[in-house]
A and B are shown apart, each in its own frame.
Chain A
Amino acid sequence: GDSVTQTEGLVTLTEGLPVMLNCTYQSTYSPFLFWYVQHLNEAPKLLLKSFTDNKRPEHQGFHATLHKSSSSFHLQKSSAQLSDSALYYCALSPTGNYKYVFGAGTRLKVIA
């Protein structure tokens, strides 16, 4: 079946350090991949999504690269900010059906 794995439950970083949140997936065919961000007491909202070509999506300083060979879509940012503290979900939209599957989420905590 289709699934998303986020191995880190909690990532704690000092402000200014680079961010990398891991996401790997399993899907029968080439899915679309997404990152969502959820701030405290809010609903999740889209951060960025994969493209069908080799473009690298970017938003608010975050970027992610889809690597089909390793089934990964890791989220990165060069310098963490305090306001980046939130829950981050990786999600996939598979080919052949309209399920929309999320990973378990990674909580990013940025400290001064």
Chain B
Amino acid sequence: EAAVTQSPRNKVTVTGGNVTLSCRQTNSHNYMYWYRQDTGHGLRLIHYSYGAGNLQIGDVPDGYKATRTTQEDFFLLLELASPSQTSLYFCASRAGGRATEVFFGKGTRLTVV
């Protein structure tokens, strides 16, 4: 099964702080995604990428930057964290082809106080 590893698993930061969430997949998947999960809103797409150096804007990008440094690594950056960004963040990867499934990491729980 596809392996997607997120770090850290839990993070607490203060309002205005900088946070970087990391994601690595070891399945040679082309596509990687960052989602946030909130009760009542489901999984909302923040950013996604189809290869190293590529970045696509998702549906809720405000306040987030992302960077895909290699095929394996995809980072989510919060440069001025706000309490509204307290959430459970999932990274996912996917092979090429529209009929393919996404494989999720275990998630990072971020709390901004």
Contacts and interface: CB of A to CB of B under 8 A. Distances in A.
Interface of A: 6, 9, 31-32, 34, 42-46, 49, 52, 89, 91, 93-95, 97-105
Interface in B35-77: 35, 40-45, 48, 50, 56, 58-59
Given A43-B105, A98-B50, A104 B99 contact: no
A43 B106 contact: yes
A73 to B, nearest CB: 14
A98 B40 CA distance: 24
B90 A43 contact: yes
Contacts of A49: 99, 101
Interface in B18-33: 31, 33
A46 B43 CA distance: 14
Contacts of B48: 98-100
Contacts of B101: 34, 46, 49
A99 B35 CA distance: 11
Contact of B98 (A9, A32, A42): A32
Nearest to A92: B98
Nearest to A43: B104
Given A89-B43, A99-B48, A101-B59, A43 B94 contact: no
B47 to A, nearest CB: 11
Interface in B67-113: 90, 92, 94, 98-102, 104-107
A92 B90 CA distance: 17
B98 A101 contact: no
A104 B107 CA distance: 17
A103 B40 CA distance: 10
Nearest to B101: A46
Contact of A102 (B40, B42, B99, B107): B42
Given A9-B40, A43-B104, A89-B42, A100 B99 contact: no
